[in-house]
Structure 1
Amino acid sequence: MFFQHIYDKSLAQGSYLIGCQATGEAIVIDAKRDVDTYLDVAKQNGLRITHVTETHIHADFLSGTRELAALTGATMYLSDEGGPDWQYQFAHEGLRGGNVIRVGNLSLEVIHTPGHTPESISFLLRDHPATDEPIMLFTGDFVFVGDIGRPDLLEKAAGLAGTQDIGAHQLFQSLTKFSSLPPYVQVWPGHGAGSACGKALGAVPSTTVGYERIRNWAFRFENDERGFTDYLLAGQPEPPKYFAMMKTLNKVDRPLLTEVPRHPKLTADQFLAAYRGGTRIIDARPKALHASGAIPGSLGIENNSSFSTWVGWLVGYDEQIVLVADDGQVEDLTRKLMRIGMDNILGYVSSVDDLGLPLETRKLIDIDTFRTLLGRDDVQVVDVRSASEYAAGHIPGAVNLFVGTLADHLDELDRGKQLVIHCQSGARAAIAQSVLAANGFKDVQNFSGGMEAWRRQPVPNSAE
């Protein structure tokens, strides 16, 4: 048996290529959209991708299942569980609990594990030449390392009222199926630490059924569904706005993108025409460069592992995009954006200095300066972290306006006061600073050390 875990750090998303080396057949589970990765792995190992499948209709990334099927001729095997409202709206081989997919000498048994979504399924793998006992379970967003999938995304991200309590009940029941499996079975989930699909995902890539029964919080409530539900729903991170679009695009027939696009480098005139026409400018340079000279109105989102998530929070799918980035980063940025369906990229520029525009600067302050501003009537301190982070500890007097929804709450800011913003370590505050500048708040000071610096050197006699 051939096995490879393919992990996308930008969305903390795991996919899998599993092959039968005797027959050369292979299956991909939960493919990301830039599918050349799987084609390369298969070719390098003498395999043909003959089957593609996924664990559920994803909300956090645009699945590459259909792109892979189009390029390879592989059969798509997708869940037909969950009822009429949870069906894929394009041709596929339907799966229900108890069905078995055969890939050469391998088999994958389908287990219906609803809760995160009604149609969610898991795959129990057997490598028959070695043993007829199960060896691996691919859980998607059902069971993670140290956590389980959240049932509130359909309600919070897609607006489907009443679904979170139903989902919590289904998850509670699905866990009994998980618990009945042999403790040695390896568990390979669809996400790791950093994903918004749970609140306490572990950083290691895999686990076992037995280990999760010992350490995963969800199994402390085996006889207490009410306690389980209350704990499950409390403190979940805010779902990014783009999740609703992903649920739709992963369900319906949509245009396919079977290769990574190459975007042109724009001339100054081309850039200015787009800029004056209202194109969204995303500055992906390091936040210090953006602070030292930013195109007015541009959104400063540094190219790091959270880049696509913040673009998905702050940019609409109907907006055309121009990137500001070094030549060598454009392909990486393109891949990150295509994984969430952000395909409307006009091109890029690598420098802001030759565009003929006056540049703005962003003011950064250290903790000593920040201390002098605390407690003043003419200063408003804004914490742009999540609500759960704020609740766990914050600077006295700071108000909480999450960066992802900051533009929707500008009326809660006092334009007559000096605004000082901060986050945990500076990255989100830099994004917030650009959001505020684009909305007319030009004199915003960024306490860039954030809570990390505050906790190292708190103001004397203050309490969180």
Structure 2
Amino acid sequence: MYFEHFFEPGLAQKSYLVGCQKTGEAIVIDPRRDVDVYLTAARDNDLRITKIAETHIHADFLSGSRELAAATGAEILASDEGGPDWQYRFAHTGLRDGDQIHVGNVRLDVMHTPGHTPEHISFILYDLPAGPAAMMAFTGDFVFVGDVGRPDLLEEAAGIKDTKIRGARDLWKSLRRFRELPQHVMVWPAHGAGSACGKALGAVPSSTVGYELATNWAFQIEDEETFVHELLDGQPEPPYYFAEMKVRNRAGAPVLGTVERPPLLGPRRIAELCGIAESHNAQSGERLESAQILDVRSQFAFAGAHIPGSISVPMDRSLSNWAGWTLDYDRPIALIAPDHQVSDVVDALIRIGLDTIVGYMPSVDGWIDEGLPVARVDQLTADELTAELDSDADKYHVIDVRSRSEFDEGHIDGAVNIHAGRLTRLADQIPRGRPLLVHCQSGYRSIIAVSSLERLGIGPVVNLIGGYGAYVDASPASQATTSR
């Protein structure tokens, strides 16, 4: 048997290639959308991808199943469990509890494991030439290393009411089935540390059933009501784009084929695209929507000079996540990105279905040279802020854009907590009448928030360099308070 796992750090997403070396057949489980990694691995190991399997309708990334099927001719296998509302709406072979998948001498048994989602299934792998014992469990978002899948995303992200309690109870029942698996079975989940699909995911890539039974918090609770409460308490804020992913993954992601590098554009062309386009769609007669600008340069480069209205998401492993929080899915995207980062940015965007990238510009130098309008961000160091607050404690409305749990651990006295990704939808909660002082923990999220506020026309805004961490280091303890 051949086995390889693939980890995409931006979404903390895991996928798997399993092959039978005798017959040359292979299956890919939960593929991401940039599928070249699987094609290369299969080719390098003399394997043919004949099957593709999904554990569930994903919320945090766009599935690559249809993309991979188009490239290989492989059969897509997906759950038909969960009821009519949670059926995949593209061509696939339906799977139900107890079904078996054969890939040469490898067998995968299907186990319905609802909770995270109603249709969720797991795959129990047997390497038949090695013996009759189960070897691996591909658990998707059911059981992680150190955690279990959250059941609240349908309600919190997709707006489907009265699903999180039912999902939590379903998960409790599914975990009882997990307990029955042999303790030596290796556990390979769909996510690792950094994913928003749980609250305590471990960074270790895999585990065993026995280790999870001994250490995973979810298996230490004996009472269902306590489990439901603990499971739902303290889950991270789900990004807005999760709802979009649910809809698109159920319908089936569009097949991209070869992804071309976006063209290099000049400043005037960027300006044209970001205004109201003069061209019309020849078939519909509708005016084309103006492009939105995603600037992935550093927070300091963005603060120094940027195109007004652009969104700052500095290039980082979390680019996909923050692009999903802040960009509009119905508008094309123009990039401000250095040449060497363009391909990585495109990959990060297509993984969450932001496919319409009209071009890029490597910097704003040419924009400035053309005399086009430029915006800048006022910034303060922690020492400067401390001095200003000492002389005038009411000079700013302080907007803390960290998570609620971070805010509760400690915050600047009088600060208002609004998650950076939620600012655009919670604009009515932003105080007015004074300049806004925006901060996160270190400065990464606050520049995203500042750019969102600028796009909304809310200001003046000042960014705190180094965030709350720098403020605590620079200020007397009496100026930081805790909610506990």
Preserved contact between residue 308 and residue 336 of structure 1 (Cα < 8 Å): yes
- Is the Cα–Cα contact under 8 Å of residues 383 and 471 in structure 2 kept in the other structure? no
| Structure 1 equivalent of residue 287 of structure 2 | none
Partner of 2:54: 54
Q: Which residue of 2 aligns with 1:214?
A: 214
Contact 1:261 1:334 (8 Å CA) reproduced: no
Which of 378, 384, 396 is equivalent to 1:369? Answer: 384
Letter in 2 for 1:407: T
1:239-263 residue CA offsets vs partner (Å, 9 max, x unmatched): 1111111111111145311232321
Q: Provide, for residues 352-372 of structure 1, a one-character-per-residue CA deviation record: whole Å limited to 9, x for no partner.
A: 121222322212222211213
User: Is residue 2:273 matched to residue 1:256?
Assistant: no
Partners of 2:124 and 2:135 within 8 A in 1: yes
1: CA distance, partners of 2:260 / 2:60: 21
Q: Name the structure 2 match of 1:332.
A: 344
Q: Aligned partners of 1:204 and 1:456: how far apart in 2?
A: 32
Q: Tell me how far 1:269 sits from its aligned partner.
A: 2.5
Return the letter of the residue paired with 1:318.
Answer: D
Give the TM-score normalised by structure 1.
0.97
Quote the Cα distance in structure 2 between the aligned partners of 1:310 and 1:10: 10
Give the deviation of 1:392 after TM superposition: 3.0
Cα distance in 2 for partners of 1:426, 1:419 equals 15
Is structure 2 residue 323 aligned with structure 1 residue 311?
Answer: yes
Say which is worse superposed, 403-412 or 198-207, in terms of deviation: 403-412
Q: 2:450 aligns with which of 423, 427, 433?
A: 433
Checking the alignment, whether the CA contact within 8 Å between 2:295 and 2:302 is kept in structure 1 is yes
Residues 247, 442 of structure 1: alpha-carbon distance in 2 compared, 3 angstrom cutoff: same
Separation in structure 1 between the aligned mates of residue 184 and residue 96 of structure 2, nearest angstrom: 25
Give the % identical residues. Answer: 53
**Aligned counterpart, 1:184:** 184
Instruction: Work out whether residues 421 and 447 of structure 1, in 8 Å CA contact, stay in contact via their aligned partners in 2.
Output: yes
TM-score (norm. length: structure 2):
0.93
- Give the Å deviation of 1:442: 4.5
- Deviation at 1:389? 2.1
Q: How far apart are 1:455 and its partner, in Å?
A: 4.2
Uncovered stretches (5+) of structure 2, i.e. residues with no partner: 277-289
Q: Which residue of 2 aligns with 1:89?
A: 89
Which residue in 1 is equivalent to 2:285?
none
What SS does the aligned partner of 1:187 have? Answer: strand
The RMSD of aligned alpha carbons is 1.4
Counterpart contact for 1:325–1:351, Cα < 8 Å = yes
Give secondary structure in 2 for the equivalent of 1:250.
helix
In 1, Cα distance between the equivalents of 2:227 and 2:117?
17
Alpha-carbon distance, 1:274 to partner: 0.6
Q: Note if contact 2:63-2:253 (Cα within 8 Å) is conserved in structure 1.
A: no
- What does the per-residue CA deviation read over 1:398-453, in whole Å, with 9 as the maximum and x for residues that have no partner? 11011111122233333321211111111000101111122223432211222322
Whether contact under 8 Å (1:36, 1:259) holds in the other structure is no
Where does residue 282 of structure 2 map in the other structure? Answer: none
Cα separation, 1, equivalents of 2:459 and 2:301: 17
Cα distance in 2, alignment partners of residues 411 and 83 from structure 1: 39
Which one of the candidate residues 308, 311, 319 is aligned to 1:299?
Answer: 311
Q: Any idea what SS the aligned residue of 1:97 has?
A: coil
The aligned counterpart of 1:267 is 266
Higher deviation after alignment, 119-128 or 263-272:
263-272
Superposed CA offset, 1:159-216 (max 9, x none): 1100001100000000011111111111111011111101111111111111111111
> How many equivalent residue pairs?
463
The aligned counterpart of 2:413 is: 396
Q: How far apart, CA to CA, are the structure 2 residues paired with 1:458 and 1:182? A: 54
Question: Residue in 2 aligned with 1:236?
Answer: 235
> What's the counterpart of residue 281 of structure 2?
none
